[in-house]
Amino acid sequence: MTNDSQPIFWRDPQFPHIDLRYIADGHQVRYIPHSHEQWSIGVILKGQSSFLCGDRLHQVAQGDLVIMNAQEVHCCNPAPESAWSYYMMHIDCHWLAQRLFEAGIQDEAVWEPTLQDVIKDSALSEIMHNVCDQLLSDASTHEKSVALNRWLTQLFEHIKQLPREFNERNAPPALAKVAYYLIEHGDLDDPIDKVAARFGFSNSYLTRQFKRYYQTTPHAFRINRRIQLSQIALKNGVPIAEVASQFGFSDQAHFQRAFKERVAATPRQYRTTPCHH
């Protein structure tokens, strides 16, 4: 790759439940608070950062593992003048729960959110680094699968022994219904005040409650969901202009700006970055 600041997105039809991002030089990367549809874990290869996950702030550096539950708002930007390189892996929660059940780590094949934001363990960090390198390599599908599953088993056996860093704070059921509606209908463009009224809230109260439980506004929550849906569409080869229109962006410039703020790559980079397998 000629430009180390451009991320590599690894995707492989043999591993449809895994997305991997690598960036060699991200010292100029800036994200706004966002979330992912999958459970996510990253390993910091170089540099240091302030890592905000939910309402919890951590200082993280080379060798640390950072964890984000699905739909959990977070933000991780490099410190000023700091180098910044990392791998970030996004894993489908249902697939992961099934793997952990089969490995005997969970009693049921039902996903339970993790309760740690940061793991400081040099051995696990090195293993993740090596597994990610292997996924980007020309190793066989079997070799990659063995390495990935072995690492996930080691990781979650370790997580199982850790004290919880925070208590899971579930939104009230009535508020969760609004969030679920915005997730399920991210492509609709009904005004947020109409959405609030639909569920018996005033616009101002809904906004306050969203900020309290989701660390974002309902509008930003919906934009983030549209970006998640657009990523799926781009991976499936849908043209950029069609994606922008389908998910309610006024034009391609608006779509590109919102996408880059949350993915730190343009839609074209996300779609066309070579996949290694």
Buried b (16+ CB within 10 A) or exposed e, 160-192: eeeeeeeeeeebeeebeebbebbbeebeeeeeb
* Comma-separated ranges of CATH 2.60.120.280 domains in the chain: 8-161
Q: Identify whether the C-beta of residue 31 lies closer than 8 Å to the C-beta of residue 75.
A: yes
pLDDT 10s digits, 202-254: 999 999 999 999 999 999 999 999 999 999 999 989 999 999 999 989 889 99
- The CATH architecture to which 173-272 belongs is Orthogonal Bundle (1.10)
Report the C-alpha gap between 41 and 158 in whole angstroms.
Answer: 14
> Which pTM was predicted?
0.86
Q: Compute the residue count for the chain.
A: 277
- pLDDT tens for the chain, residues 1 to 277: 346 778 899 999 999 999 999 999 888 888 889 999 999 999 999 999 989 998 898 999 999 999 999 999 999 888 888 889 999 999 999 999 999 999 999 999 999 999 999 999 999 999 999 999 999 999 999 999 999 999 999 999 999 998 887 777 778 999 999 999 999 998 888 999 999 999 999 999 999 999 999 999 999 999 999 999 999 999 989 999 999 999 989 889 999 999 999 998 999 999 875 554 4
Q: What is the CATH code for 8-161?
A: 2.60.120.280
